[in-house]
Amino acid sequence: MWAAPNRSRTRATTFTTDLFGEPVIIVRDKGGTIRALSNVCPHRWMLLVGHDPEAPIPIKAESCGNRRSFQCPFHLWSFDLDGKMIGAPGMEEAKDFDKLRWSLPQFAVELWGGFIFVNLDPEAEPLAPQLATLQPLVEAYELDRLQMLEPLEYECNWNWKMSVEVGSESYHHLGLHQDLLEEFMPAALSDIESPAGPYSIYRNPTADGSPIPTAFTPPAGLSEQQLSCLTLVTIFPYTMFFSMPEYTAYLQLIPESFDRHRLRYIPLVHPNVEQFPEPEEFANIVRATLDAVHQQDMVAGAYCWAGAQSQVARPGRRSHLESQLWQMHNWLLDQIENP
C-alpha cells in the first residue's frame, strides 16, 4: 500500500511520520537520495527522532528539521542519514558485533508528482507503472513544480475512510456545499473516469463551462477543459488532491486509530504566483476558501461516523455521481483478498 506522507520540495532534510502505527523517518541523505528509514532504534526500540524531552510521554511527536545523523538518546547508538550504523558505545565486548547488521531498516520510497510515497513492504510493486494512465491526465498541472503554502490542520474523530469518501466525490455539493460550490460547479456535470489503476479521478466543470477566474497566468500546458474545471484525484487508499488552474490542494491524512485521524490541507501553488502583487495575500485567500469548504466536510465526517454506529445502519444505494467510492471499495476488497 503506497501512501504519501509529504512533498519532496520541503526545506527540511528530515521529518518523522507515522504510517498506520509504523514510525518512519523520511530523510534526504548526503547524496540527495530520499529514503524512508525505520524510526525505531534496533537496540531496545526507542524512537530515534521525534522526542519532546519536556513531555512526560514523549511518543509519536512529529519532528522536522535538518540533521547530519541520528543518535538514540537511550544508549547513544548512532546512524548516518542513509541508515548505516556509525557508532555504538559500550559494545566493544559484544562478541561478533557487526555494526552494519544493526543499520536501520528501510521502506520502499517513490517520488510521483512531487509527492513522496512510502510503502512499508520493501517488495512492493512499483507505484509509477500503476499510475501510468493517470500521469497524462494531470501532468499539465506541473505538480512537481508546485510550492507548499502553510497547511490547515484538523483533528477528526472518525475513521479515516470517511474523510476519503467525503473528499472523493462531488455528489455532496448538492447538499453540503450548496452555498459554496454547487451553483458554481454543479455536481451533476461531474465527469468520472472508469477505473484504470489504483485511483479515482473526476472533473467538475463550471456551470457554464467558462474558465475559472485566475489571479495569475496558469501553467501553459493546461487544456481548455482543465482551465474550466476542478480535477480531483484519490490515489488509494488515502492520498487525495484536487487541482484547479492556479493551485492544487493536497489532503494529507494521518490515521491514528480506527476512529481518529489528523487531516492536513496543504495548498500547493504554481511558481507563477510571483506575478501576483502580494503572494502572501493570495495564500490567505486560498487558505480561507479551503477552510470554509472543509468546515462543511467536517460536518459530514462527524455526523456520518455517529450514524455509522447505529445498529440499523447498512450500506445505502449509491448514485452514479459517487462511483468513485465503489471504485475505492473494490480496491480495498482486492487488497484484503489478495494481500
Interacting residue ranges for Fe ion, rule: CB under 5 A: 297
Query: What track of x and - describes contact with ligand FES for positions 58 through 87 (by CB under 6 A)?
Result: --------------x-xx-x----------
Select the span of 41-49, 133-141, 277-285, 288-296 touching ligand FES (CB under 6 A): 41-49
Q: In whole angstroms, what is the distance from residue 233 CA to residue 112 CA? A: 13
Among 43, 60, 318, 329, binds ligand FES (CB under 6 A): 43
The backbone region for 75, taken as left when phi is positive above 0, alpha when psi lies in -120 to 50, beta otherwise, is alpha
Q: What are phi and psi of 39, to 5 degrees?
A: -95, 25
User: Counting contacts by CB under 6 A, is residue 9 touching ligand FES?
Assistant: no
User: Counting contacts by CB under 6 A, is residue 180 touching ligand FES?
Assistant: no
Q: Residue 72's binding partner, choosing from Fe ion, ligand FES, none, with beta-carbon cut-off 5 to 8 A by kind?
A: ligand FES
Question: Which cell numbers in the block locate residue 202?
Answer: 473526476
The burial of 56, by beta-carbon neighbours within 10 Å (0-12 exposed, 13-18 middle, 19 or more buried), is given as exposed
Q: What is the DSSP letter of 228?
A: T
User: Counting contacts by CB under 6 A, is residue 97 touching ligand FES?
Assistant: no
| Cβ atoms of 114 and 232 closer than 8 Å | no
Among 41, 138, 192, 230, binds ligand FES (CB under 6 A): 41
Q: Which is nearer to ligand FES, 45 or 303 (CB)?
A: 45
CB-CB neighbours of 76 under 10 Å: 12
Q: Which is nearer to ligand FES, 75 or 84 (CB)?
A: 75
Q: Residue 297's binding partner, choosing from Fe ion, ligand FES, none, with beta-carbon cut-off 5 to 8 A by kind?
A: Fe ion
User: Counting contacts by CB under 6 A, is residue 99 touching ligand FES?
Assistant: no
Nearest to 142 by CA among 268, 15, 296, 11: 268
Q: What angle do CA 285, 286, 291 make, to 5 degrees?
A: 100
Q: Which is nearer to ligand FES, 72 or 222 (CB)?
A: 72
Q: Which is nearer to ligand FES, 104 or 162 (CB)?
A: 104
Among 46, 212, 293, 302, binds ligand FES (CB under 6 A): 46
Asked whether the bond before 58 is cis by omega within 30 degrees of 0, the reply is no
Element (H, E) at 155: strand 152-156
Contact positions vs ligand FES (CB under 6 A): 41, 43-44, 46, 72, 74-75, 77
